[in-house]
Structure 1
Amino acid sequence: MKKKIVHYQVLFVFVLMFFSSCYKEGKQITLAEAGAVSADKINKSVENVFKGPEIQMGNGKVRSWISINHEGVPVEIGIEMTDGALYGLSQDPEDFAAATFVLPLHKKAGDLTPFDHLVINWNVHGHEPEHVFDVPHFDFHFYMISEGEQMAIPPYEVAPAGFDNLPPHAYWPDLYFPTAGGVPQMGKHWADGTFAPPFTKTFIYGSYNGKFIFLEPMIIRDYLVQGTSYTAAFRQLHVFDPTNKYYPQKYNIYKDPATSKHYITLSDFVWR
Protein backbone atom coordinates (compact mmCIF):
# COMPACT_ATOMS: atom_id res chain seq x y z
CA MET A 1 0.00 0.00 0.00
CA LYS A 2 1.75 3.12 -1.24
CA LYS A 3 0.42 5.33 1.54
CA LYS A 4 2.03 3.12 4.12
CA ILE A 5 5.49 3.06 2.58
CA VAL A 6 6.49 6.16 4.49
CA HIS A 7 5.36 4.47 7.70
CA TYR A 8 8.87 3.35 8.63
CA GLN A 9 12.38 3.79 7.25
CA VAL A 10 15.17 1.24 6.86
CA LEU A 11 17.09 2.97 9.67
CA PHE A 12 14.25 1.88 11.92
CA VAL A 13 15.50 -1.72 11.98
CA PHE A 14 18.99 -0.84 13.15
CA VAL A 15 17.79 1.44 15.92
CA LEU A 16 15.38 -1.22 17.08
CA MET A 17 18.12 -3.85 17.21
CA PHE A 18 20.20 -1.55 19.43
CA PHE A 19 17.43 -1.20 21.98
CA SER A 20 16.05 -4.72 21.77
CA SER A 21 17.78 -5.99 24.90
CA CYS A 22 16.56 -3.09 27.06
CA TYR A 23 12.98 -4.18 27.65
CA LYS A 24 10.96 -7.39 27.52
CA GLU A 25 7.36 -6.58 26.67
CA GLY A 26 4.42 -8.57 28.00
CA LYS A 27 3.78 -12.26 28.07
CA GLN A 28 1.98 -14.84 26.01
CA ILE A 29 -0.92 -16.48 27.77
CA THR A 30 -2.88 -19.60 26.92
CA LEU A 31 -6.30 -19.52 25.31
CA ALA A 32 -7.83 -20.97 28.45
CA GLU A 33 -6.20 -18.28 30.59
CA ALA A 34 -7.45 -15.57 28.24
CA GLY A 35 -10.98 -16.92 28.38
CA ALA A 36 -10.83 -17.08 32.16
CA VAL A 37 -9.49 -13.54 32.42
CA SER A 38 -12.11 -12.09 30.09
CA ALA A 39 -14.92 -14.04 31.75
CA ASP A 40 -13.75 -12.87 35.16
CA LYS A 41 -13.75 -9.25 34.03
CA ILE A 42 -17.20 -9.49 32.51
CA ASN A 43 -18.85 -11.50 35.28
CA LYS A 44 -17.31 -10.04 38.43
CA SER A 45 -16.15 -6.52 37.71
CA VAL A 46 -18.29 -5.07 35.00
CA GLU A 47 -21.62 -3.39 35.51
CA ASN A 48 -22.22 -2.57 31.87
CA VAL A 49 -20.78 -3.20 28.42
CA PHE A 50 -21.48 -0.46 25.87
CA LYS A 51 -21.06 -1.47 22.23
CA GLY A 52 -20.79 0.48 19.02
CA PRO A 53 -22.61 -0.49 15.79
CA GLU A 54 -21.55 -3.58 13.88
CA ILE A 55 -19.48 -2.90 10.76
CA GLN A 56 -19.02 -5.36 7.89
CA MET A 57 -15.39 -6.43 7.52
CA GLY A 58 -14.39 -9.22 5.17
CA ASN A 59 -16.70 -12.16 5.75
CA GLY A 60 -17.55 -11.06 9.26
CA LYS A 61 -18.37 -8.17 11.57
CA VAL A 62 -16.42 -5.83 13.82
CA ARG A 63 -17.52 -3.39 16.48
CA SER A 64 -16.14 -1.25 19.30
CA TRP A 65 -17.00 -1.73 22.94
CA ILE A 66 -16.16 -0.47 26.42
CA SER A 67 -16.79 -2.18 29.74
CA ILE A 68 -17.25 -0.20 32.96
CA ASN A 69 -17.22 -1.50 36.52
CA HIS A 70 -19.59 -0.73 39.39
CA GLU A 71 -17.46 2.24 40.45
CA GLY A 72 -17.72 3.85 37.01
CA VAL A 73 -14.13 3.04 36.05
CA PRO A 74 -13.37 1.60 32.58
CA VAL A 75 -12.18 -2.01 32.59
CA GLU A 76 -11.48 -2.58 28.89
CA ILE A 77 -11.97 -0.73 25.64
CA GLY A 78 -11.38 -2.18 22.23
CA ILE A 79 -12.45 -4.13 19.19
CA GLU A 80 -14.57 -7.26 18.87
CA MET A 81 -14.12 -9.23 15.63
CA THR A 82 -16.04 -12.27 14.50
CA ASP A 83 -13.81 -14.98 13.08
CA GLY A 84 -15.08 -14.26 9.56
CA ALA A 85 -13.62 -10.75 9.69
CA LEU A 86 -10.17 -12.26 9.19
CA TYR A 87 -11.20 -13.69 5.80
CA GLY A 88 -12.47 -12.26 2.53
CA LEU A 89 -10.48 -9.04 2.94
CA SER A 90 -9.37 -6.83 0.05
CA GLN A 91 -6.36 -8.12 -1.88
CA ASP A 92 -5.71 -4.79 -3.60
CA PRO A 93 -2.90 -2.93 -1.78
CA GLU A 94 -3.84 0.32 -3.54
CA ASP A 95 -7.50 0.30 -2.44
CA PHE A 96 -7.12 2.17 0.83
CA ALA A 97 -10.87 2.67 1.29
CA ALA A 98 -11.62 -1.06 1.06
CA ALA A 99 -8.99 -1.75 3.72
CA THR A 100 -10.15 0.88 6.23
CA PHE A 101 -12.87 0.27 8.82
CA VAL A 102 -14.03 3.10 11.09
CA LEU A 103 -15.63 2.02 14.38
CA PRO A 104 -17.63 4.63 16.29
CA LEU A 105 -17.41 4.43 20.07
CA HIS A 106 -20.31 4.63 22.51
CA LYS A 107 -20.64 8.05 24.15
CA LYS A 108 -19.58 6.50 27.48
CA ALA A 109 -16.10 5.95 26.04
CA GLY A 110 -15.65 9.63 25.26
CA ASP A 111 -16.97 10.63 28.66
CA LEU A 112 -14.46 8.50 30.55
CA THR A 113 -11.44 8.05 28.27
CA PRO A 114 -9.53 10.20 25.75
CA PHE A 115 -10.67 8.05 22.82
CA ASP A 116 -13.02 9.36 20.15
CA HIS A 117 -13.18 6.51 17.62
CA LEU A 118 -11.29 3.42 16.46
CA VAL A 119 -10.01 2.52 13.00
CA ILE A 120 -8.81 -0.82 11.63
CA ASN A 121 -6.40 -0.63 8.68
CA TRP A 122 -5.74 -3.84 6.74
CA ASN A 123 -2.34 -4.14 5.03
CA VAL A 124 -2.55 -7.10 2.64
CA HIS A 125 1.17 -7.05 1.78
CA GLY A 126 2.40 -5.11 4.79
CA HIS A 127 4.85 -2.29 4.12
CA GLU A 128 8.53 -1.38 4.31
CA PRO A 129 11.07 -2.10 5.64
CA GLU A 130 11.39 -5.28 3.63
CA HIS A 131 11.62 -8.52 5.61
CA VAL A 132 10.29 -6.81 8.74
CA PHE A 133 6.75 -5.43 8.26
CA ASP A 134 6.06 -6.74 4.75
CA VAL A 135 3.60 -9.39 5.97
CA PRO A 136 -0.23 -9.20 6.06
CA HIS A 137 -1.20 -7.33 9.22
CA PHE A 138 -3.69 -5.00 10.86
CA ASP A 139 -3.22 -1.56 12.39
CA PHE A 140 -5.68 -1.05 15.25
CA HIS A 141 -5.84 2.72 15.82
CA PHE A 142 -7.32 4.17 19.01
CA TYR A 143 -7.75 7.84 18.05
CA MET A 144 -7.79 10.69 20.55
CA ILE A 145 -8.98 13.22 17.95
CA SER A 146 -12.25 13.41 16.05
CA GLU A 147 -12.76 11.55 12.79
CA GLY A 148 -12.98 14.90 11.00
CA GLU A 149 -9.59 15.97 12.37
CA GLN A 150 -8.10 12.61 11.44
CA MET A 151 -9.40 12.73 7.87
CA ALA A 152 -8.07 16.28 7.42
CA ILE A 153 -4.44 15.19 7.95
CA PRO A 154 -2.80 15.81 4.55
CA PRO A 155 -0.05 13.90 2.74
CA TYR A 156 3.37 14.62 4.21
CA GLU A 157 4.67 15.88 0.88
CA VAL A 158 1.87 18.48 0.70
CA ALA A 159 2.19 19.91 4.22
CA PRO A 160 5.08 18.48 6.28
CA ALA A 161 4.87 21.11 9.04
CA GLY A 162 2.09 19.37 10.98
CA PHE A 163 3.98 16.07 11.00
CA ASP A 164 7.32 17.64 11.92
CA ASN A 165 5.77 19.61 14.79
CA LEU A 166 6.52 17.01 17.45
CA PRO A 167 4.97 16.92 20.93
CA PRO A 168 7.16 18.46 23.66
CA HIS A 169 9.97 16.12 24.60
CA ALA A 170 8.68 15.89 28.15
CA TYR A 171 5.63 13.98 26.83
CA TRP A 172 7.55 11.26 24.98
CA PRO A 173 7.23 7.64 26.17
CA ASP A 174 10.58 6.11 27.11
CA LEU A 175 12.51 4.41 24.28
CA TYR A 176 10.07 5.53 21.58
CA PHE A 177 11.26 7.60 18.64
CA PRO A 178 9.51 9.40 15.75
CA THR A 179 9.88 7.83 12.31
CA ALA A 180 10.54 9.94 9.24
CA GLY A 181 7.72 11.53 7.24
CA GLY A 182 4.10 10.72 7.98
CA VAL A 183 0.96 9.07 6.65
CA PRO A 184 -2.08 11.02 5.39
CA GLN A 185 -5.24 10.61 7.47
CA MET A 186 -3.08 9.06 10.22
CA GLY A 187 -0.08 11.12 11.32
CA LYS A 188 3.54 10.51 12.30
CA HIS A 189 4.23 7.07 13.73
CA TRP A 190 6.46 6.54 16.76
CA ALA A 191 8.31 3.22 16.97
CA ASP A 192 9.12 1.13 20.01
CA GLY A 193 12.89 1.12 20.34
CA THR A 194 12.86 -2.30 22.01
CA PHE A 195 11.18 -4.06 19.08
CA ALA A 196 13.20 -6.72 17.26
CA PRO A 197 12.13 -8.96 14.35
CA PRO A 198 10.42 -11.29 13.64
CA PHE A 199 7.27 -9.18 13.66
CA THR A 200 4.10 -10.67 15.10
CA LYS A 201 2.91 -7.64 17.11
CA THR A 202 4.16 -4.29 18.33
CA PHE A 203 2.74 -1.16 19.94
CA ILE A 204 2.90 2.21 18.16
CA TYR A 205 2.18 5.81 19.14
CA GLY A 206 1.07 8.48 16.67
CA SER A 207 1.31 12.26 16.68
CA TYR A 208 0.33 15.26 14.60
CA ASN A 209 0.70 19.01 15.04
CA GLY A 210 2.39 18.85 18.43
CA LYS A 211 0.11 16.25 20.08
CA PHE A 212 -0.01 12.50 20.49
CA ILE A 213 -3.23 11.52 18.71
CA PHE A 214 -3.44 7.72 18.68
CA LEU A 215 -2.35 4.46 20.25
CA GLU A 216 -1.89 1.51 17.90
CA PRO A 217 -1.44 -2.21 18.48
CA MET A 218 -0.10 -3.57 15.16
CA ILE A 219 -0.65 -7.32 14.75
CA ILE A 220 -0.08 -9.79 11.92
CA ARG A 221 -3.13 -11.61 10.58
CA ASP A 222 -1.68 -15.07 11.25
CA TYR A 223 -1.32 -14.27 14.94
CA LEU A 224 -5.05 -13.60 15.17
CA VAL A 225 -5.98 -16.58 13.00
CA GLN A 226 -4.04 -18.86 15.36
CA GLY A 227 -5.98 -17.49 18.32
CA THR A 228 -2.80 -16.70 20.24
CA SER A 229 -3.40 -14.65 23.38
CA TYR A 230 -1.11 -11.99 24.75
CA THR A 231 -1.12 -9.19 27.31
CA ALA A 232 1.49 -6.49 27.82
CA ALA A 233 2.10 -3.24 29.64
CA PHE A 234 3.12 -0.49 27.24
CA ARG A 235 5.33 2.48 28.10
CA GLN A 236 3.33 5.52 29.07
CA LEU A 237 3.38 9.13 28.02
CA HIS A 238 4.88 11.37 30.70
CA VAL A 239 2.30 14.13 30.25
CA PHE A 240 -1.33 13.50 29.29
CA ASP A 241 -3.56 15.63 27.11
CA PRO A 242 -6.49 15.83 27.68
CA THR A 243 -6.43 15.46 31.45
CA ASN A 244 -9.21 14.30 33.78
CA LYS A 245 -9.65 11.08 31.82
CA TYR A 246 -8.91 7.40 32.40
CA TYR A 247 -5.90 6.15 30.42
CA PRO A 248 -4.99 2.49 29.77
CA GLN A 249 -1.68 0.87 30.71
CA LYS A 250 -1.90 -2.52 28.95
CA TYR A 251 -2.94 -3.94 25.61
CA ASN A 252 -4.45 -7.38 25.13
CA ILE A 253 -5.04 -9.87 22.32
CA TYR A 254 -7.28 -12.86 22.93
CA LYS A 255 -9.97 -15.09 21.48
CA ASP A 256 -13.08 -16.08 23.39
CA PRO A 257 -13.26 -19.89 23.11
CA ALA A 258 -17.02 -19.84 23.70
CA THR A 259 -17.86 -17.50 20.79
CA SER A 260 -14.71 -17.67 18.60
CA LYS A 261 -14.65 -13.87 18.63
CA HIS A 262 -11.32 -12.05 18.64
CA TYR A 263 -10.56 -9.11 20.93
CA ILE A 264 -7.94 -6.39 20.71
CA THR A 265 -8.27 -4.21 23.79
CA LEU A 266 -6.67 -1.68 26.11
CA SER A 267 -7.07 -2.14 29.86
CA ASP A 268 -5.77 -1.37 33.37
CA PHE A 269 -7.02 2.21 33.40
CA VAL A 270 -5.74 4.94 35.72
CA TRP A 271 -7.00 8.50 36.23
CA ARG A 272 -4.74 11.19 34.74
Structure 2
Amino acid sequence: MQPNRRTLLKTLGVGAIGAHATLRTDATGTDEQSPPSTSPPERGTTDAGPPSERIAWGPPAAVGNGTIRTFVASTGSGKPRSVGVRFSADALEGLPTAPTDGKWNIPDGKAPCCGHETVLGFPETAASIPFRWFMLNWNPTGHPPPDVYAVPHFDFHFCLMPREKRTEIRNGDCPRASTAVTCETLQRGTEPLPSGQRPPDYESLGAVEPGMGNHLMDLTAPEFNGEPFTHTFLWGTFDGELIFFEPMVTRSFFRDLCTEIRRPITMPTAFPTAGWYPTAYAIRYSRTGDNYVVCLESFRWFESETNGRDHTDVMGC
Protein backbone atom coordinates (compact mmCIF):
# COMPACT_ATOMS: atom_id res chain seq x y z
CA MET A 1 0.00 0.00 0.00
CA GLN A 2 1.33 3.44 -0.90
CA PRO A 3 2.11 5.62 2.13
CA ASN A 4 0.09 8.80 2.39
CA ARG A 5 1.80 12.17 2.15
CA ARG A 6 1.68 12.90 5.88
CA THR A 7 3.25 9.53 6.78
CA LEU A 8 5.94 10.01 4.15
CA LEU A 9 6.85 13.47 5.43
CA LYS A 10 6.98 12.18 8.99
CA THR A 11 9.21 9.24 7.99
CA LEU A 12 11.60 11.34 5.92
CA GLY A 13 11.62 14.28 8.31
CA VAL A 14 10.72 16.65 5.50
CA GLY A 15 9.48 19.98 6.87
CA ALA A 16 7.73 21.46 3.87
CA ILE A 17 6.29 24.93 4.18
CA GLY A 18 2.96 24.38 5.80
CA ALA A 19 3.97 21.19 7.57
CA HIS A 20 4.50 23.32 10.65
CA ALA A 21 2.77 26.52 9.61
CA THR A 22 -0.07 27.81 11.72
CA LEU A 23 -2.77 30.05 10.30
CA ARG A 24 -3.95 32.78 12.61
CA THR A 25 -6.49 35.54 12.30
CA ASP A 26 -5.91 38.92 13.90
CA ALA A 27 -8.59 41.14 15.40
CA THR A 28 -9.35 42.70 12.02
CA GLY A 29 -10.12 39.30 10.47
CA THR A 30 -6.98 39.27 8.28
CA ASP A 31 -5.47 35.84 7.78
CA GLU A 32 -1.71 35.54 7.93
CA GLN A 33 0.63 32.61 8.09
CA SER A 34 3.29 32.38 10.77
CA PRO A 35 6.74 31.09 9.81
CA PRO A 36 7.50 27.38 10.18
CA SER A 37 8.61 26.33 13.65
CA THR A 38 11.12 23.61 14.45
CA SER A 39 10.82 23.91 18.22
CA PRO A 40 8.34 22.00 20.41
CA PRO A 41 5.10 23.82 21.21
CA GLU A 42 5.18 26.14 24.18
CA ARG A 43 3.30 25.12 27.28
CA GLY A 44 -0.23 26.41 27.14
CA THR A 45 -0.82 25.81 23.41
CA THR A 46 -2.98 23.31 21.57
CA ASP A 47 0.09 22.15 19.60
CA ALA A 48 -1.71 21.66 16.29
CA GLY A 49 -4.23 24.30 17.27
CA PRO A 50 -4.27 28.01 18.05
CA PRO A 51 -1.65 29.30 20.51
CA SER A 52 -3.08 30.98 23.57
CA GLU A 53 -1.88 31.99 26.99
CA ARG A 54 -5.31 30.97 28.35
CA ILE A 55 -6.35 27.44 27.52
CA ALA A 56 -8.36 24.88 29.43
CA TRP A 57 -8.50 21.16 28.70
CA GLY A 58 -11.24 18.61 29.22
CA PRO A 59 -10.48 15.07 30.42
CA PRO A 60 -9.24 12.61 27.77
CA ALA A 61 -11.27 9.70 26.38
CA ALA A 62 -10.20 6.67 24.38
CA VAL A 63 -10.86 6.59 20.62
CA GLY A 64 -9.36 3.82 18.50
CA ASN A 65 -5.76 3.27 19.60
CA GLY A 66 -5.49 6.85 20.83
CA THR A 67 -7.16 9.55 22.89
CA ILE A 68 -9.23 12.68 22.37
CA ARG A 69 -9.96 15.68 24.59
CA THR A 70 -11.75 19.02 24.32
CA PHE A 71 -10.20 22.44 24.83
CA VAL A 72 -11.27 26.06 25.09
CA ALA A 73 -8.81 28.88 24.36
CA SER A 74 -9.64 32.44 25.32
CA THR A 75 -8.20 35.92 25.01
CA GLY A 76 -6.80 37.88 27.91
CA SER A 77 -10.19 39.53 28.37
CA GLY A 78 -11.89 36.14 28.66
CA LYS A 79 -13.60 36.09 25.26
CA PRO A 80 -13.53 32.75 23.40
CA ARG A 81 -10.78 32.38 20.83
CA SER A 82 -11.00 28.73 19.80
CA VAL A 83 -13.11 25.73 20.86
CA GLY A 84 -12.27 22.25 19.69
CA VAL A 85 -10.83 18.80 20.19
CA ARG A 86 -7.31 17.46 19.90
CA PHE A 87 -6.69 13.77 19.26
CA SER A 88 -3.61 11.64 18.70
CA ALA A 89 -2.90 10.28 15.23
CA ASP A 90 -3.21 6.69 16.49
CA ALA A 91 -6.89 7.42 17.20
CA LEU A 92 -7.39 6.87 13.45
CA GLU A 93 -6.38 3.22 13.87
CA GLY A 94 -8.02 0.37 15.75
CA LEU A 95 -11.49 1.81 15.24
CA PRO A 96 -14.65 -0.34 15.23
CA THR A 97 -15.66 -1.73 11.84
CA ALA A 98 -19.34 -2.49 12.59
CA PRO A 99 -21.65 0.19 11.11
CA THR A 100 -22.91 1.28 14.55
CA ASP A 101 -22.54 0.74 18.28
CA GLY A 102 -26.28 -0.03 18.36
CA LYS A 103 -27.25 2.58 20.98
CA TRP A 104 -29.96 4.12 18.81
CA ASN A 105 -30.97 1.24 16.54
CA ILE A 106 -34.44 -0.26 16.29
CA PRO A 107 -35.16 -3.72 14.84
CA ASP A 108 -37.28 -2.59 11.90
CA GLY A 109 -34.85 -2.93 9.03
CA LYS A 110 -34.08 0.77 8.72
CA ALA A 111 -30.50 1.90 8.22
CA PRO A 112 -28.44 1.63 11.42
CA CYS A 113 -27.95 4.96 13.12
CA CYS A 114 -25.27 7.18 14.44
CA GLY A 115 -22.05 5.19 14.08
CA HIS A 116 -19.96 4.90 17.26
CA GLU A 117 -20.33 7.85 19.61
CA THR A 118 -17.98 9.35 22.18
CA VAL A 119 -19.49 12.07 24.39
CA LEU A 120 -17.26 14.63 26.11
CA GLY A 121 -17.75 17.71 28.25
CA PHE A 122 -16.01 21.02 27.77
CA PRO A 123 -13.64 22.29 30.44
CA GLU A 124 -14.81 24.91 32.86
CA THR A 125 -13.34 28.17 31.66
CA ALA A 126 -13.70 31.90 32.08
CA ALA A 127 -14.54 32.21 28.40
CA SER A 128 -18.25 32.44 27.68
CA ILE A 129 -18.83 29.73 25.08
CA PRO A 130 -22.26 28.71 23.76
CA PHE A 131 -21.48 24.99 23.64
CA ARG A 132 -22.73 22.64 26.37
CA TRP A 133 -21.12 19.34 25.34
CA PHE A 134 -19.35 17.59 22.47
CA MET A 135 -20.02 14.34 20.62
CA LEU A 136 -17.75 12.51 18.19
CA ASN A 137 -19.35 9.97 15.85
CA TRP A 138 -17.17 7.52 13.95
CA ASN A 139 -18.99 6.15 10.87
CA PRO A 140 -17.06 3.15 9.44
CA THR A 141 -19.39 2.83 6.43
CA GLY A 142 -20.53 6.46 6.25
CA HIS A 143 -24.18 7.48 6.40
CA PRO A 144 -26.91 8.88 4.13
CA PRO A 145 -27.16 10.38 1.62
CA PRO A 146 -25.50 7.17 0.37
CA ASP A 147 -24.14 8.69 -2.82
CA VAL A 148 -22.52 11.56 -0.90
CA TYR A 149 -21.33 10.56 2.58
CA ALA A 150 -20.95 6.77 2.25
CA VAL A 151 -17.23 6.73 3.13
CA PRO A 152 -15.51 6.22 6.52
CA HIS A 153 -15.60 9.55 8.32
CA PHE A 154 -16.01 11.41 11.62
CA ASP A 155 -18.80 13.76 12.67
CA PHE A 156 -17.72 16.45 15.17
CA HIS A 157 -20.82 17.74 16.99
CA PHE A 158 -20.40 20.94 19.01
CA CYS A 159 -23.74 21.02 20.81
CA LEU A 160 -25.70 24.10 21.89
CA MET A 161 -28.67 22.31 23.44
CA PRO A 162 -28.58 20.82 26.96
CA ARG A 163 -27.35 17.24 26.94
CA GLU A 164 -30.45 15.98 28.77
CA LYS A 165 -32.63 17.07 25.83
CA ARG A 166 -31.24 14.12 23.85
CA THR A 167 -33.83 11.92 25.54
CA GLU A 168 -36.57 13.88 23.74
CA ILE A 169 -35.06 13.07 20.32
CA ARG A 170 -36.36 9.52 20.38
CA ASN A 171 -35.73 6.53 18.14
CA GLY A 172 -38.72 4.81 16.60
CA ASP A 173 -40.31 3.49 13.44
CA CYS A 174 -42.34 6.36 11.98
CA PRO A 175 -43.40 5.26 8.47
CA ARG A 176 -42.92 8.83 7.19
CA ALA A 177 -39.30 8.97 8.38
CA SER A 178 -36.29 7.75 6.40
CA THR A 179 -34.40 7.44 9.69
CA ALA A 180 -35.20 5.47 12.84
CA VAL A 181 -37.19 8.11 14.75
CA THR A 182 -40.72 8.54 16.05
CA CYS A 183 -43.20 10.66 14.09
CA GLU A 184 -43.13 13.25 16.89
CA THR A 185 -39.34 13.42 16.66
CA LEU A 186 -39.55 13.82 12.90
CA GLN A 187 -42.04 16.67 13.26
CA ARG A 188 -40.03 18.48 15.92
CA GLY A 189 -36.79 17.94 14.01
CA THR A 190 -38.12 19.40 10.78
CA GLU A 191 -39.87 22.38 12.36
CA PRO A 192 -38.78 25.42 10.30
CA LEU A 193 -36.22 27.80 11.73
CA PRO A 194 -37.06 31.46 12.32
CA SER A 195 -35.80 33.60 9.46
CA GLY A 196 -32.82 34.95 11.41
CA GLN A 197 -31.54 31.46 12.25
CA ARG A 198 -31.55 30.17 8.67
CA PRO A 199 -28.02 29.72 7.30
CA PRO A 200 -28.00 30.65 3.58
CA ASP A 201 -27.69 27.72 1.12
CA TYR A 202 -28.50 25.12 3.81
CA GLU A 203 -31.53 22.89 3.40
CA SER A 204 -33.23 20.12 5.35
CA LEU A 205 -33.38 16.69 3.70
CA GLY A 206 -35.29 15.26 6.66
CA ALA A 207 -32.19 13.60 8.15
CA VAL A 208 -33.47 13.61 11.75
CA GLU A 209 -31.34 11.21 13.80
CA PRO A 210 -32.26 9.94 17.29
CA GLY A 211 -30.31 11.47 20.15
CA MET A 212 -28.97 14.04 17.73
CA GLY A 213 -31.52 16.06 15.74
CA ASN A 214 -32.02 17.21 12.18
CA HIS A 215 -29.15 17.98 9.82
CA LEU A 216 -29.09 20.90 7.39
CA MET A 217 -26.82 20.37 4.39
CA ASP A 218 -25.21 22.83 2.01
CA LEU A 219 -26.34 21.70 -1.43
CA THR A 220 -23.79 24.07 -3.01
CA ALA A 221 -20.92 22.16 -1.31
CA PRO A 222 -18.43 20.27 -3.53
CA GLU A 223 -19.70 16.83 -2.49
CA PHE A 224 -23.17 17.65 -3.86
CA ASN A 225 -21.70 18.87 -7.13
CA GLY A 226 -19.61 16.03 -8.50
CA GLU A 227 -16.57 16.17 -6.22
CA PRO A 228 -15.65 13.54 -3.60
CA PHE A 229 -16.44 14.25 0.03
CA THR A 230 -13.36 15.13 2.11
CA HIS A 231 -14.59 17.62 4.71
CA THR A 232 -17.70 19.77 5.05
CA PHE A 233 -19.89 21.59 7.54
CA LEU A 234 -23.48 20.84 8.65
CA TRP A 235 -25.95 22.59 10.94
CA GLY A 236 -28.18 20.80 13.45
CA THR A 237 -31.76 21.78 14.33
CA PHE A 238 -34.58 20.67 16.62
CA ASP A 239 -37.76 22.37 17.85
CA GLY A 240 -37.16 25.21 15.38
CA GLU A 241 -33.73 26.13 16.81
CA LEU A 242 -30.11 25.69 15.81
CA ILE A 243 -28.67 23.07 18.19
CA PHE A 244 -25.20 22.10 16.91
CA PHE A 245 -22.25 23.02 14.69
CA GLU A 246 -20.89 19.98 12.81
CA PRO A 247 -17.68 19.70 10.82
CA MET A 248 -17.46 16.29 9.10
CA VAL A 249 -14.07 14.91 7.99
CA THR A 250 -13.12 11.66 6.25
CA ARG A 251 -10.47 9.43 7.77
CA SER A 252 -8.54 9.48 4.49
CA PHE A 253 -8.42 13.29 4.61
CA PHE A 254 -6.84 13.15 8.07
CA ARG A 255 -4.33 10.56 6.92
CA ASP A 256 -3.23 12.72 3.98
CA LEU A 257 -3.15 16.00 5.91
CA CYS A 258 0.33 17.42 6.54
CA THR A 259 -0.59 21.05 7.15
CA GLU A 260 -4.00 22.60 7.81
CA ILE A 261 -7.18 23.90 6.25
CA ARG A 262 -9.46 26.64 7.45
CA ARG A 263 -12.89 27.44 6.04
CA PRO A 264 -15.53 30.07 6.82
CA ILE A 265 -18.92 28.90 8.09
CA THR A 266 -22.02 30.22 6.33
CA MET A 267 -23.69 31.96 9.24
CA PRO A 268 -27.25 32.93 10.14
CA THR A 269 -27.89 36.44 11.44
CA ALA A 270 -29.08 35.37 14.93
CA PHE A 271 -29.13 32.45 17.38
CA PRO A 272 -31.60 31.23 20.01
CA THR A 273 -29.42 32.87 22.69
CA ALA A 274 -27.21 35.93 22.32
CA GLY A 275 -23.48 35.28 22.66
CA TRP A 276 -20.12 34.67 21.03
CA TYR A 277 -20.34 32.17 18.14
CA PRO A 278 -17.59 30.85 15.83
CA THR A 279 -17.59 31.79 12.14
CA ALA A 280 -14.91 29.39 10.83
CA TYR A 281 -13.72 25.81 11.30
CA ALA A 282 -10.16 24.53 11.03
CA ILE A 283 -8.49 21.11 10.72
CA ARG A 284 -4.80 20.93 11.64
CA TYR A 285 -2.05 18.34 11.87
CA SER A 286 1.08 18.68 14.02
CA ARG A 287 4.06 16.55 13.05
CA THR A 288 5.78 17.53 16.31
CA GLY A 289 3.04 16.04 18.46
CA ASP A 290 1.65 13.64 15.82
CA ASN A 291 -1.85 14.83 16.59
CA TYR A 292 -4.81 16.59 15.02
CA VAL A 293 -7.05 19.46 16.02
CA VAL A 294 -10.57 20.16 14.77
CA CYS A 295 -11.71 23.51 16.09
CA LEU A 296 -14.18 26.35 15.70
CA GLU A 297 -12.75 29.85 15.74
CA SER A 298 -13.09 33.51 14.64
CA PHE A 299 -15.77 34.20 17.23
CA ARG A 300 -18.26 37.00 16.70
CA TRP A 301 -21.07 38.33 18.85
CA PHE A 302 -24.60 37.50 17.71
CA GLU A 303 -27.85 38.69 19.20
CA SER A 304 -30.77 36.39 19.85
CA GLU A 305 -33.58 36.15 17.33
CA THR A 306 -35.60 38.79 19.20
CA ASN A 307 -32.78 41.18 20.12
CA GLY A 308 -31.86 42.59 16.73
CA ARG A 309 -28.79 42.50 14.54
CA ASP A 310 -25.38 41.03 15.31
CA HIS A 311 -22.22 43.00 16.04
CA THR A 312 -19.19 43.03 13.75
CA ASP A 313 -16.52 42.44 16.42
CA VAL A 314 -14.38 39.50 15.30
CA MET A 315 -12.23 37.38 17.59
CA GLY A 316 -9.68 35.46 15.51
CA CYS A 317 -7.42 32.62 16.51
TM bucket (normalised to shorter chain) is: 0.7 to 0.9
Match of 1:117 in 2: 133
Structure 2 residue 172 is the aligned partner of structure 1 residue 142? no
Alignment of 1:250 onto 2:280: yes
Is residue 81 from structure 1 mapped to residue 87 from structure 2 by the alignment? yes
Report whether the alignment pairs 1:204 with 2:238.
Answer: no
Are positions 1:102 and 2:119 aligned together? yes
Partner of 2:270: 239
How far the C-alpha of 1:258 sits from its partner, in A, is 1.3
2:197 corresponding residue in structure 1:
171
Structure with the higher fraction of residues in helix conformation: 1
Comparing 199-208 with 223-232, greater Cα deviation is found at 223-232
Q: In terms of mean alpha carbon deviation, does 38-47 or 91-100 score higher?
A: 38-47
Shift of 1:179: 1.5
Question: Could you say which residue in structure 2 is the equivalent of 1:269?
Answer: 299
List gaps (5 residues or longer) in structure 2.
1-16, 24-32, 104-114, 172-180, 303-317
Tell me the distance in 2 between the aligned counterparts of 1:107 and 1:142: 15
Q: Which has the larger radius of gyration?
A: 2
* 1:155-211 deviation digits (Å, cap 9, x = unpaired): 333422211222213320111111224100111100012212310011000000111
Aligned residue among 179, 183, 188 for 2:214: 188
- Point out the more displaced range, 125-134 or 201-210: 125-134
1:131 Cα shift?
3.5
Work out whether residues 45 and 70 of structure 1, in 8 Å CA contact, stay in contact via their aligned partners in 2.
Answer: no
Quote the offset at 1:265 in angstroms. Answer: 0.2
1:122-163 deviation line (CA, Å, top 9, x unaligned): 000002333421100000000001211124311333422211
- Inter-partner Cα distance in structure 1 for 2:96 and 2:236: 25
Cα 1:253–1:128 shift into 2, 3 Å: same
Shift in alpha-carbon separation, 1:217–1:96, aligned structure 2, 3 A: farther
Identity in percent = 29
What do the CA deviations read for 1:194-245 (whole angstroms, capped 9, x no partner)? Answer: 21231001100000011100000001011112224210111111112211x2
Q: Which amino acid aligns with 2:211?
A: Q
* Whole-Å separation in 2 of the counterparts to 1:119 and 1:64: 10
Q: Is the 8 A contact 2:191 2:238 kept in 1?
A: yes
SS at match of 1:203: strand
Contact 2:122–2:132 at 8 Å: present in 1 too? Answer: yes
Q: TM-score, normalised by structure 2?
A: 0.71
How many residues are treated as equivalent by the alignment? 242
Secondary structure in structure 1 of the residue aligned to 2:246: strand
Kept in 1: contact 2:196–2:271 (CA 8 A): no
Q: Give the structure 2 partner of residue 21 of structure 1.
A: none
Q: Which residue of 2 aligns with 1:153?
A: 169
CA RMSD of aligned residues (A): 2.4
- Give 5+ residue unaligned stretches, structure 1: 1-28
Q: Does 1:30 align with 2:32?
A: no
Answer yes or no: is the 8 Å Cα contact 2:197–2:241 preserved in 1. Answer: no
Distance 2:215 2:51 in 1: 34
